[in-house]
Structure formats: C-alpha cells, structure tokens
Chain A
Amino acid sequence: MVRIAVPSMLAAQAEGRRGFDVEAETVGEALRALPVADLLFNERGALNRHLNVYVDGTDVREHGGLECPLASAHEIRIVAMVSGG
C-alpha cells in the first residue's frame, strides 16, 4: 500500500481528497488508479510533461520513470513544476 499525495487543484477534482491509498507494483500503475488519472496522462498514456513525481522524496525519472517499482515505498508525491505556471 502506498500513499499518493496530490496538489490542491487535483484534490478539487477528486471531491477535496488530498491523499489516496493505493495497491500497486509500479508508479505508473499507482497513478493510473487515481480518479484524476485523466489529468496526469495524455491520450497516449504519456505523463504530462509539467508534472514531477517523487517516490519517498526521489524523482522517479532517476528510477525508471513510470516503471519504477514501488516495493517498500511509502509515499508518492505529485507536484506541478513551476514551468506549469
């Protein structure tokens, strides 16, 4: 079980929820389980480019991106890049 923390704009799209507990083996699987998954990925399944995703404080780009295994991870944080305005 991993806890996913989302920014306030995503929480507003999920009835105000800021956190979600998800069973998943990879980061991608966890993110796709969210009720706001359509706001994270484009229609080809690519993660929107102005999003950062951290697993226990580490950028998933450094660990295989969406295929990053969660194993014993505790928390995924979704953060909008400053380049997103």
Chain B
Amino acid sequence: MAVLALVGTTKGLFLLWGDDDRRRWQTEGPLLDGWGVYHAMLDPRDGTVFAATNHRVYGSTVQRSADTGTTWTRSKQLGLPEESGLTLDAVWHIEAGRPDEPQTLYLGAAPGVLLRSDDGGASWEVNRGILDHPTRERWFSGAGGMCCHSIQLDPRDRGRMYVGITAAGVFRSENAGQSWIPINNNVETEFLADPNAQVGQCPHKLLMHPARPDRLWQQNHFGVYLSDDHGDSWVRLDRNGLPSGFGFPIMLDPKDPDSAFVIPEKSPEYHYSSGGQLAVYRTRDSGETWELMSDGLPKQAWAAVLREASAYDAASLYFGTQSGSFFALTDGELWVEAVRHLPPILSVEVTPWSG
C-alpha cells in the first residue's frame, strides 16, 4: 500500500506521496502557505484533512479540507472562557474521535488545554476537567509553551483517555474527559525539588500501543518510559543502551507491542543529535536493550526532530528534521532521505492511499 505523509512545517503543509516501497516520493505544496502547521492529520473516518495552524501575526486556528488540501475552511474562532483568565497561545495536536462518533475531534493546545469538537471541527469547546484541574497552579511551561501535545483514546473503553501536557505531566480520564487523574508515578523530574511530585513532569510524547492499550510509551524530558498498567506506574528504559534519555518523538510498531523507536538528542541543554550523528534507536524487547538504526542517515549531523515530527504505520517509520529533511525507512533497515530542503519540519503524520 502506498502512503501519504502530511508534513507540517514552519511555513505551510506539504503532502508527500510515497509509493509502495517508500523509495519514490512526490512533493506537493506548500498548502496553507505561510502558516506554522504544528500538526496535520487525515481523519480516517471520512478523509477530511485537519491542520493545527499558528501564525505570529494572525494567531491560532484549525483549518480543514474535504478535498485533500485544495480548499480549506477555518474553525469558528477558538478561545478560552474569560473567567479562566487564560487566552489561547497555540494549537498543537488534533486527534480524531472514536469511530462511532464521526463528528467528534479533540484538540490539544496551549496553555495546557484540551478542546473538543462535536461538529466535525466547525467549533470547539474547552474541556473543563483539564482547564479547572486542581493541580494547574503547579504546572508550568516548557520551552515550547505549556502545550497539550498527546491525546490517546483507549479503543476498548470509551471512557478512558489520556493526555500529555508539557510541563504538567500525563493525565488519565475514566469518564470520557469529565475528570482527570495525574499518572506520573516513578517519572523523574530533575528540575523539581520534590522527586515524588504528583505533577510537573515533562512528557514530550505519549503513545498508547494500539494492539495492547494498557501499554503506554513515553519519551520524557528525562528518559524513555513504559507503563503496562495504563499509566499507574512507569519503568525507565533509557539506561539500557541509549546514548541519552533526552529526545522528543517516539514511534511504535503496530504489529509488535514490545518494539519502540526513539531519536535521542544530546541532553536537555543541547537539543541536537547525540554524538553528532542522526540516529534512531530501536528496542524489540520492551526496552531491555536498544540497537542503533542509522543506515542511510547522515554521519555528521546536529539535527533535531520535534515531538510531532515522526509517524509510523505497519510498513515503515517516518520522521522529519528541523533542517527540512524527511526520512522514511525502507526494507525495515535502510533510511531514505525522501525530501530535503523543506522549511523546518514541525509534524509528520501518515495515512495509506491507493497509489
């Protein structure tokens, strides 16, 4: 099956059309020219493309296209309730709702808020459980703001969902978002005085394994973590062979819950490739060991891959760098630089297409 990669950049959205073996790609764009596309995805339920777009002058909005990017419609003005004292800083991540709620979508945004649409993205309402969370006063911003960047829905349990917020932590709801509990036990916070703090941790990306929904993977500011009890406890994994615990994206293998892929950076102080080489590290044993996957990646590179800038499907892995290169894995081992010289890449999502 061929693949369509939606690549959000600081200056618009690019559609990269890849063939069955991920070796040949065609580039279309920029769409939404000039907008910072923090995240874009194609809704698997009806094919609508959604983009979380931000601009220093024109603010933040969500744009959607029913014709794969030819024409776009903006959501009604986004905003936060006046009594909250907060205003919307940026929109970060769009997640499709459940298959039997075809008009429902979720939007992660800053400052640490979750919004929901029940009309296909035309309008959005803030989630009060997150907005009014009793621990909010102990949340604070990371370098990219206090962004809600990860939204995961348990496919077996329509009440259970997760969000990851920088630097507040990971939260779980058991009642479809009405209330949220922090789930950050054992997650280290070297920057907090209290090593057992309930909140204030800094998840960079949270993913639930689609075939084993109790298994959560997290790339955190301080390490890579795995939970097998829907976030009640976490095990740190990056001391088993990774050059650094610091990084932003994480990728999974939908066929194998024991596999994960990370792209380490030197440290929280130095956001570029660890060891001066762009490299992906793979575990196939739930983080017991890690192995280098660098065939085809540049040997001298001080690159950075942002939290939204990777994706996976059953056939391959994909990521884009802040230096505008897009890589895809071919034959399970060899990386191909499919496109280069794009604007800095902010996000990557993939979806199958018929070719």
Contact = CB atoms under 8 A, between A and B. Distances in A.
Interface string B53-91: 001111101000000000000101111101000011000
A13 B55 contact: no
Interface of A: 9-10, 12-13, 38-44, 48, 50-51, 80-81, 83-85
B57 A50 contact: yes
A84 B57 contact: yes
A1 B6 CA distance: 43
Contacts of A41: 77
B33 interface: yes
A80 B58 CA distance: 9
Contact of A9 (B58, B78, B88): B58
Contacts of A83: 56
15 contacts: A9-B33, A38-B61, A38-B74, A39-B58, A39-B61, A39-B74, A42-B79, A43-B79, A44-B87, A48-B57, A48-B58, A51-B57, A83-B56, A84-B55, A85-B56
A10 B87 contact: no
A80 B55 CA distance: 11
Contacts of A12: 33-34
A43 B57 contact: no
Given A13-B74, A38-B76, A43 B56 contact: no
A85 B36 CA distance: 11
Interface of B is mostly: loop
Contacts, number: 50
Interface of B: 33-35, 55-59, 61, 74, 76-80, 82, 87-88
Given A42-B88, A43-B88, A44-B87, A10 B58 contact: yes
Nearest to B82: A44
A10 B58 CA distance: 8
Contacts of B77: 38, 41, 43
Nearest to B58: A39
A38 B35 CA distance: 15
Nearest to A9: B34
Nearest to A42: B87
Q: What are the 4 closest A-B residue pairs judged by CB atoms, nearest first?
A: A43-B79, A84-B57, A38-B77, A39-B58
A13 B65 CA distance: 13
Contacts of B82: 44
Contacts of B88: 42-43
Given A38-B76, A39-B55, A40-B58, 18 more contacts: A9-B55, A9-B57, A9-B58, A12-B33, A38-B61, A39-B58, A39-B59, A41-B77, A42-B59, A42-B79, A43-B78, A43-B79, A43-B88, A48-B57, A50-B57, A81-B57, A83-B56, A85-B57
